[in-house]
Amino acid sequence: MVTSAHEIAGDLDLESDVCVVGSGAGGACIASELAEGGLAVVLLEEGGHYPTSHFTADTPRMIQTLYRDGGGTVALGRASVAYVEGRCIGGSTTINGGMCWRTPEKILQRWAWEAGIEDLEPERVGPFFAKVEERIHVARQDPGSIGRDDELLVLGAERLGYKTMENRRNQDHCMGANNCAFGCPTGGKQSALVSYVPRAERAGARVFADCRVDRIVAREGRVERLEGAVLERATRRRQARLTVKARRYVLSCGAVHTPYLMLRSGVGNASGQVGRNLMLHPNVKVMGIFPEDVKPWEGVHQAHQVHEFLSEGIDLAMGFVPPSILALGSKHIGEASLRLMEDVRHMVVGGVLVEDSSRGRVRALPFGIPLVTYHLNDDDARKAIRGAALLSQVFFAAGATRVVLPFVEPEELRSAAEIGKLYAARLGAGDLELFTVHLMGTCRMGADARTSVVNGYGRSHDVRNLYVADASVFPTPIGVNPMETIMMLATRTAERILNGG
């Protein structure tokens, strides 16, 4: 029931009670809740609509199809950080690993204290979390879906006495196809594509793919309309004009494109904070090579995390990606790259997530693209290096014969006794190879309109009928996967809208 560009003849003029821009974790969730609450909803997605039957193991094709700009997006800085976003119905939930963690209570308390946000006590947000978890079927993995690579991560951590946690994922008896990041081919992962978007449609929401919003037109503190384009799918060229009029508007374009749209429209930035405060949980990749035949492509993308060091802002996990992506992202070239790929059957790919104190910014460039910058500070660089050391230790404890690092020097380690080389090399921020899938904070919420963009329920301080429902509203990083937090806040905002707020 999603309307795509090839089904649209001529210019598209829409009216509704609410227009939601973006169909990912925040947009699909709030559209569903509002439609089920009786409002007429239009849900717009810039990317295409690709049902489950479309997803295959052809990784390059899936990246070109589902990822913004083919996955080639980068936050520039002293340590540039590659990041990826979904651009398709379901947004980044279609291409993420599906990890579902409730916002840590210490983070909610911090938001209440520092940002003045009310009603974040566990007893107040608990029902919203529970509702989200029921909608997307949050559960632990069935034992048969867990691969040997994940078992080795747990084995190494347990031998060292480190605390591990079973991941809670939005999945209904996932079979462990390990294609999460390129579209689940079975529908087992309950992304917004197969959960919230169908709910919204059943409740009467009209969902449009291939529709990009270019401008918010506001006057006297209210949005009057949205202007944009219907895009021809293959070329991304403008096919027709798009105009939407509604009583309320919700931006759920993510932490880059929500502020970018506001900035280029000159809307909602009296505080000067739109686009600032970018946080992104920088990640470092570490590869362990084992003597046994691991077959890392078998089993779910990620079934456990090591939470021993969360208090330090360090989370350890694993998540295999296909050899073509590994080779592309490796510092090894020529024969060295070939030798590394020959070991792929024996490889465990791990990642270090850093709860960052560094900050970045999104700016609107005059020629139609956002400029994303991020300045990794020395403290976060040290956390990333410590995380790489800890993950190396876990791999060696599990039986790895060598560990391959994302640094020019040291390039690899042969035993736990060599981990000290990481510190002897005196690595700095510019020596790190970083990536992320968690971008947050660029339209942060807070009680003070001078220092925040939206209030505690996502409503713009400046524009009465404009809301934001995505990770850009986070006042601080949260240290864990953000999807469930985004959905909880979106559900909470939907309730406030339905109650007239």
Closest among 407, 433, 401 to 422, alpha carbons compared: 407
Q: Report the DSSP beta bridge partners of residue 412.
A: 404
- For strand 402-404 and strand 206-208, is the pairing parallel, antiparallel, or unpaired? unpaired
Task: Pull the structure tokens for residue 433.
Answer: 């190879």
Residue 144 is given by DSSP the state G
Backbone angles phi, psi at 243, to 5 degrees: -135, 135
- The continuous run of DSSP H or E covering 20 comes out as strand 12-21
Secondary structure class of 363 (helix, strand, coil): strand
Secondary structure class of 164 (helix, strand, coil): strand
Distance separating the N- and C-terminal Cα atoms of the chain = 30
CB atoms within 10 A of CB 408: 11
Closest among 85, 98, 317 to 189, alpha carbons compared: 98
Secondary structure class of 183 (helix, strand, coil): coil
438 is catalytic: yes
* Candidates 137, 346, 438, 461; catalytic one: 438
Residue 425 is given by DSSP the state T
**CA 478 – CA 483 distance, rounded (Å):** 11
Task: Pull the structure tokens for residue 450.
Answer: 């001078």
Residues serving a catalytic function are 438
